[in-house]
Chains A and B, each alone.
Chain A
Amino acid sequence: MPFFEVPHQADVKVHVEADTCGHLFSETARAMFCLMYCRCEEGGVERRVSVTSTDRHSLMIDFLSELLFIAEVERLVFSSFDVTVTDTALEAVARGERFDPAKHRGGMEIKGVSYSGLRIFRDGNLFCCEILFDV
């Protein structure tokens, strides 16, 4: 499923589309890691993530923030995600590889995931998300 960058002067905003709500979460996470590390591949690493939040927007912020934390502290780069999601809870399996400076160092650090302009919405059969990353 596609994602593309929406023009934003200071930071990076992306538009993500998916055929299910679960895929929307996984594709938004994939977009975030593509921005950070350019090349993300599966390399035998797997982590489980559980998040509960007050609503779907907060769930997206909390899910991505948790992935940022795990990636930085465990020095991992994720590339694919299996996500099961309700309005207020999420279970995910993130797959990827160990951070390799030679391969991943040239990317863009994401400092945080912003609520500003965050939109999760339906467009016909598609589930869509617009989200801003502070870089």
Chain B
Amino acid sequence: MLAGIQQIDEVEWEVPVGYVPGMRVPGRFFLSDDLAETLEPDAVHQLANVACLPGIERYSLAMPDIHSGYGFPIGGVAAFDAESGVISPGGVGYDINCGVRLIATPLRADDITQPRALIEELFRTVPTGVGAESSLRLSHHDLAAMMTEGVRWAVEAGYGVENDISHCEESGRLDAADTAPVSKKAFQRGMPQAGTLGSGNHFLEIQEVDAVFDPETAEAFGLSPGQICFMVHCGSRGLGHQVCTDHLRVLESAHKRYGISIPDRQLACAPLSSPEGEAYFGAMAAAANYAWVNRQVITHQVRQVLQRMFGIAYEEMPLVYDVAHNVAKMEEHSSERGRRRFCVHRKGATRAFGPGLPEVPAAYRSVGQPVIIPGSMGSHSYVLHGTATAMERTFGSTCHGAGRVMSRTKAKKATPGSEVRKHLLEQGIVVRATSDAAIAEEAPEAYKESDKVVDVVRRAGLSLPVVRLRPLGVIKG
């Protein structure tokens, strides 16, 4: 482990105040001994930098998928007091509400007799990769409504069913959304991209439930052994990127005006109560709503393909849940000063609310919020459930994925995409992408083992495994 870091228990570590100048609270991260070698000094430095921001509560946190990003580390979580705290685009990222959702089906693995044909049909239907354009023809008014109403807009436009709404985090809509501070440029970028997958680590995956750890909760989530599910990972596309770019520029000058000292320019921020902070929060929420619609439209496209190819009724493909990875939200949490409102930033982290909370859909309230942790192309994904422990230790947060351990450049040099594809096919996994380079960059070896990352959050009690999912086919952007 890096010098200066103290072990709290078997999977929790503390970065003490003073690790970098100006820290207001300690940093805390979760990692097992066997993942310790994956820890980058830069990521710990970023975790400590976040602890310097005004109004931060208790700890600057990072989950076991921690790795270096920009501003916040990936896997970073920080709660800022609603009255004295700040909001920072660096704690959300360029891809606002990048997130993941899981769609259940009545299909079993034996039903997928022609996986390649299914993957090709999905690839033709879901616009994928750099430069892909939406099949939707949207007006300015449509886009504004989409950003204001979130998933409800999509359902009312015919891209889903009523149950989809309640099975999204925040019911697929942040009510703070305000389109006024969303620039004309962001509108222009958002118009042709609604319902497109994007590229990089975004994907659409066919998966089989291959292990059930908690049958009772699995039943509550509508999941059973051998069941075929579809996982969608994507975000707010160019619209969200532009919102981040635009408001970073504004907050760059704002933080100086409010006398806030920051250790990294990418941590530009403003008080939550300031006009600049409120404008970013409103625009960020609007972009988050767009991202939920984006995943909803892709869900609709997937369901249409399955209807055509397997004759399944639309209603037989329920949305299990949809979680956000890159978002800042107002939430109430316990603190030494009692229950208070905080702006919780999760950058490459997942909300993991425990049982009994009103934010958890009624159908899942007795067991806790579903947590969806994607693996990489060749490794397992998991569904877990949130816990009371997460509410106490991490503001109801857990990890978001496996986390990279190898740069894209190194991954491309290590194994050609064609070989990665062949190797995956030997394991029964069909991969389709816009290029072999995209496959090479996302090779399973470029990521931590999802099994090990999930094991850390299980041991820490931040979320508990319900089912494991094995990939059968992957579309990479």
**Residues in chain A within 8 A of chain B (CB atoms):** 5, 7-12, 36-38, 54, 57-58, 62, 65, 68-69, 72-73, 75, 99, 101, 104-109, 111-118, 132, 134-135
Contact = CB atoms under 8 A, between A and B. Distances in A.
Contacts of B437: 38, 106, 108
B48 to A, nearest CB: 14
B129 to A, nearest CB: 5
B364 interface: no
Given A7-B407, A9-B67, A73 B131 contact: no
Nearest to B183: A69
A117 to B, nearest CB: 8
B189 interface: yes
17 contacts: A5-B407, A9-B40, A10-B68, A12-B407, A58-B249, A73-B185, A99-B131, A105-B129, A105-B131, A106-B129, A106-B436, A107-B130, A109-B477, A111-B200, A111-B241, A113-B245, A116-B265
A130 to B, nearest CB: 13
Given A105-B130, A105-B131, A10 B69 contact: yes
B336 to A, nearest CB: 32
Contacts, number: 114
Contacts of A101: 131
In terms of DSSP, what is the predominant structure of the interface of chain A?
A: mixed
A69 B189 contact: yes
Interface string B191-229: 000000011100000000000000000000000000000
Given A101-B131, A106-B436, A111-B241, 11 more contacts: A10-B69, A12-B407, A58-B252, A69-B189, A75-B131, A99-B131, A106-B130, A114-B71, A115-B265, A115-B266, A115-B268
B310 to A, nearest CB: 29
A135 B405 contact: no
B253 interface: yes
B70 interface: yes
A113 B70 CA distance: 10
B131 A118 contact: no
A21 B116 CA distance: 51
A24 B129 CA distance: 29
Interface in B68-84: 68-71, 74
B409 interface: yes
B131 A7 contact: no
Contact of A108 (B71, B199, B436): B199
Given A73-B189, A115-B266, A135-B408, A106 B70 contact: no
Contacts of B7: none
Interface in B16-71: 40, 46, 67-71
Q: With a 10 A CB-CB cut-off, give which of A9, A38, A58, A116 has the most chain B CB atoms.
A: A9
A76 B369 CA distance: 43
Contacts of A54: 252-253
A132 B410 contact: no
Given A105-B435, A109-B130, A116-B266, A9 B409 contact: no
Nearest to B128: A105
Given A12-B409, A134-B94, A109 B266 contact: no
Interface string B241-269: 11011001100110000000000111010
Interface in B103-130: 129-130
A11 B130 contact: no
Interface in B83-102: 90, 93-95
